[in-house]
Amino acid sequence: MRKGTSTRNIGIGIAVVAVFFLLPAFLPRFYVYLISLMLVYGLLATSLNIVLGYGGVFQFHHCVFYGVGAYATALFLTKTGVPFILSFLAGAVAAAVLSFLMGIITVRLSKLYFGMLQISLGSLVWAIVYRWYSFTGGDDGIHGIPVPEIISSYNGSYYFTLAVTLICLFLIYKIIKSPFGSALQGIRDNPVRSGMIGINVKRHLLVALVIAGFFGGVAGSLFVVVDKTVFPDMLFWTLSLEVFIMCLIGGWFSFFGPMVGAAIVIALRTFVSGYTVYWALVYGIVMVFVIFFLPNGILGFLEQRAKPADEKKLIEKG
């Protein structure tokens, strides 16, 4: 049964990838751009979920790594002659370094205190970016960022974003399913017991923070490819709250939950705001519905509904 389920999941995954690959042939440019944004924010939310859903760490300012990754890539592309691929990777490395430095300071705290201190440190980084006009462009940001011609079009940036997102999701999945990922989930469930059996809790959390920061930086670099611009609001804490909500809506105990949550939030923000200036009210109603009726998120709810059927078939065949 397990082998059959695994084969079915692989088949579903291949079909989904094939659909995403064919979408630009049937959709207008605006929708191709919109799906690209969904992929970027989906990767960002998934990177947050490494420490949120699997590590139990309330990282309230994850978008500071997203913004730093985007700015690092943008600055390398506009102010140096560094090749694109190195500029792209520089964004992820810069975000990982910042995550390491902030993690050393914050990892000693827990729960709400960790989140509040991280918001303070992240806001300091945002203030530097917002005020440093000669280097970051200040509140004007950086526009017209040059990228290679092959990925400068809507379709080119879409396929590049899709490929990088799939690679990152594969790597994150392998990390979560590794012994390190199992230890991280053990720390989430019971940090005291994890420490008693020999797991270095602080070190594991710090490594998880760096990994999450790295992939958050990749998402920021992808945004540069998709939008050709960066701006200080990418580092502001309110965007971090929105990404946090993406994890909640999709399901933070489900691997693909943040991807689903990101797609829903981006769609709501795009289409509902076209009909009313009170789109945030609709957003709030959806959140209330999820909290009361789907506490494990939309994908978590669907997985729970599917699990009893699988168990029943297993019992009948046994």
pLDDT digits (tens, 9 = 90+) for 268-303: 888 887 777 777 788 788 888 888 888 889 888 888
> For residue 9, what pLDDT band results from cuts at 50, 70 and 90?
low
Give a yes or no: residue 287 inside a domain.
Answer: no
Give a yes or no: residue 150 inside a domain.
Answer: yes
Please report the pLDDT score of residue 221 as a whole number.
Answer: 97
Q: Which of 57, 60, 297, 90 is nearest to 188 (CA)?
A: 57
Residue 143, φ and ψ in degrees, nearest 5: -125, 160
Give a yes or no: residue 295 inside a domain.
Answer: no
Please report the pLDDT score of residue 3 as a whole number.
Answer: 53
Residue 205 contacts residue 57 (beta carbons within 8 Å):
yes
Give a yes or no: residue 187 inside a domain.
Answer: yes
d(CA 72, CA 234): 13
Look up the domain containing 186 and give its range. 30-236
Please report the pLDDT score of residue 280 as a whole number.
Answer: 78
**Averaged pLDDT for residues 191-219:** 94
Please report the pLDDT score of residue 1 as a whole number.
Answer: 43
Residue found by looking up tokens 């989930």 in the block? 185
**pLDDT(28) > 70:** yes
Give a yes or no: residue 78 inside a domain.
Answer: yes
DSSP 43: H
Give a yes or no: residue 290 inside a domain.
Answer: no
**pLDDT(157) > 80:** yes
Cβ-proximal residues to 69 (8 Å cutoff; 6+ apart), any chain: 91, 92, 94, 95, 216, 217, 218, 219, 220, 221
Please report the pLDDT score of residue 294 as a whole number.
Answer: 86
| Separation in Å, CA 144 to CA 74, 85, 153, 228, 230 | 10, 18, 13, 6, 9
Residue 158 C-alpha from the chain's centroid:
17
Give a yes or no: residue 122 inside a domain.
Answer: yes
Please report the pLDDT score of residue 12 as a whole number.
Answer: 75
Torsion of CA 155, 157, 160, 166, to 10 degrees: -90
Please report the pLDDT score of residue 15 as a whole number.
Answer: 85
> What are 223-251's pLDDT values in tens digits?
999 999 999 999 999 899 999 999 999 99
Q: pTM of the full predicted structure? A: 0.92
Give a yes or no: residue 231 inside a domain.
Answer: yes
**Domain total for the chain?**
1
Residue 289, φ and ψ in degrees, nearest 5: -60, -45
**pLDDT(10) > 90:** no
| The most confident of 93-97, 116-120, 244-248, by mean pLDDT | 93-97
